[in-house]
A and B are shown apart, each in its own frame.
Chain A
Amino acid sequence: MTQHIPGAVFWCLAIVTCVALLLLIRQYRITAALRRRLRLGEADLLAREEEMRHLAETRLPALLEASRDAGTPSVPGPLDADLLATTYGKSLQRVVDQLSSVGEDARLRADKSAKATLKAAMRALQALASEQQLSISEMQGRHDNPDVLQDLLEVDHANAQFGRRAQAVAVLCGSWPGRQRAASPLLDVVRGATSRIRDYRRIKVHSRVDMDVVSRAVEPVVLAVAELLDNATRHSQPNTTVEVSIQPAHNGVSIVVDDAGIGLDAREIDEAARRLSGRENIDIHRLGDPPQFGFAVIGVLAARYGFSVSVDTQSPYGGVRAVLFLPNALLNRVRFMGPPIPLQGAEVPPASSSLSFVEPRTEGAGGPAARTSTAAEAAARPGPSEEPSPFPEAGAAEPSTAQVLPRRRRRTPLHQEPGDPADPARSGPPLVRPAAETASRMGAFARGTRSGRDASVDNERNADQ
Chain B
Amino acid sequence: MTPPRPGRDRGLVRPYVVTEGRAHPTRNTVDLVTLVMAVRNRPLSGLNPEKRRVMELCGGGALSVAEVAAHLSLAVSVTKVLLCDLIDSGHLTARPPVPKAQRPDAQLLQEVLHGLRSRF
Residues of A within 8 A of B (CB): 133-134, 137, 140-141, 143-147, 149-150, 152-154, 156-157, 160, 181-185, 187-189, 191-192, 194-195, 200-201, 212, 218, 222, 341-354, 356-357, 383-384, 386-389, 391, 394, 406-411, 414, 433-435, 438, 450, 453-454, 461, 464
Query: A218-B9, A408-B61 are contacts. A350–B21 as well, Cβ < 8 Å?
Result: no
A188 close to B8 (CB less than 8 A): yes
Q: What would 28 A/B residue contacts be, using CB atoms closer than 8 Å?
A: A133-B11, A144-B77, A156-B15, A160-B14, A181-B9, A181-B11, A182-B7, A182-B8, A188-B12, A191-B49, A192-B13, A192-B14, A200-B16, A212-B7, A218-B12, A341-B44, A347-B55, A349-B56, A350-B56, A353-B8, A356-B6, A384-B98, A409-B60, A410-B59, A414-B60, A433-B71, A434-B3, A454-B119
Name the A residues within 8 Å of B82 (CB-CB).
none
CB pair B7 A195 closer than 8 Å: no
CA distance A347 to B57 in the complex (A): 13
What DSSP secondary structure best describes chain B's contact surface?
A: loop
Does A200 contact B17, Cβ atoms closer than 8 Å?
Answer: yes
B39 close to chain A: CB less than 8 A: yes
Q: How far is the CB of A312 from chain B (nearest CB, A)?
A: 29
Alpha-carbon gap, A232 to B60, bound state (A): 41
Residue of B13, B43, B55, B78 near A140 (CB, 8 A) is B78
Nearest CB on B from A362, distance (A): 11
Interface residues of B in 51-92 (CB under 8 A from A): 52-53, 55-56, 59-62, 71, 75-78
With A184-B7, A394-B40, A394-B41 given, is the CB distance from A384 to B95 under 8 Å? Answer: yes
- Are A156 and B41 touching (Cβ within 8 A)? no
Which listed residue, B7, B25, B61, B75, touches A353 by the CB 8 Å rule? B7
What number of residue pairs across chains A and B have CB atoms under 8 A from each other? 179
Q: What is the 8 Å Cβ interface bit string for chain B, positions 13-49, against chain A (1 contact, 0 not)?
A: 1111101110111000000000101111101111001
Q: Establish whether residues A143 and B77, one from each chain, have CB atoms under 8 Å apart when the complex forms.
A: yes
User: Which chain A residues lie closer than 8 Å to B24 at the CB level?
Assistant: 146-147, 150
Residues on B close to A: CB < 8 A?
1-3, 5-17, 19-21, 23-25, 35, 37-41, 43-46, 49, 52-53, 55-56, 59-62, 71, 75-78, 93, 95, 98, 112, 115, 119-120
Leading 10 A-B pairs by shortest Cβ distance: A410-B60, A353-B7, A350-B52, A150-B23, A192-B12, A149-B23, A195-B14, A140-B75, A389-B40, A146-B24
The answer to whether A188 and B9 touch across the interface, beta carbons within 8 angstroms, is yes
Taking a contact as CB atoms under 8 Å apart, the answer to whether B11 and A140 are in contact is no
A308 to B6 Cα, complex, angstroms:
27
A450 to B2, CA, bound (A): 26
Q: Once the chains bind, are A357 and B21 in contact (CB under 8 Å)?
A: no
B2 with A434: CB separation less than 8 A: yes
Among A222, A348, A414, the residue within 8 A (CB) of B44 is A348
Cα distance, A348 to B98, chains bound together (Å): 31
Residues on B with C-beta less than 8 A from A150 are: 23-24
Q: Is the CB of A345 within 8 A of B3?
A: no
User: How far in angstroms is the closest Cβ of chain B from A397?
Assistant: 8
For residue B18, which residue of chain A has the nearest CB? A191
Residues of B within 8 A of A182 (CB): 6-9
Q: Is there an interface contact between A407 and B59, defined as CB atoms closer than 8 Å?
A: yes
- Please give, as numbers and ranges, the residues of chain A lying within 8 Å of B21 by CB-CB distance: 153, 157, 200-201
B50 to chain A, nearest CB (A): 8
Contacting residues, chain B, for A450 (C-beta < 8 A) = 119
B56: which A residues are within 8 A, CB to CB?
349-350, 354, 406
Q: Which residues of B contact A157 (CB under 8 A)?
A: 14, 16, 21
- Using A349-B56, A384-B35 as known contacts, say yes or no to A146 and B77 having CB atoms under 8 A apart: yes
Tell me the complex Cα distance, A64–B112, Å: 93
**A341 B45 Cβ-Cβ under 8 A:** yes
Q: Bound state CA distance, A101 and B13, in angstroms?
A: 48
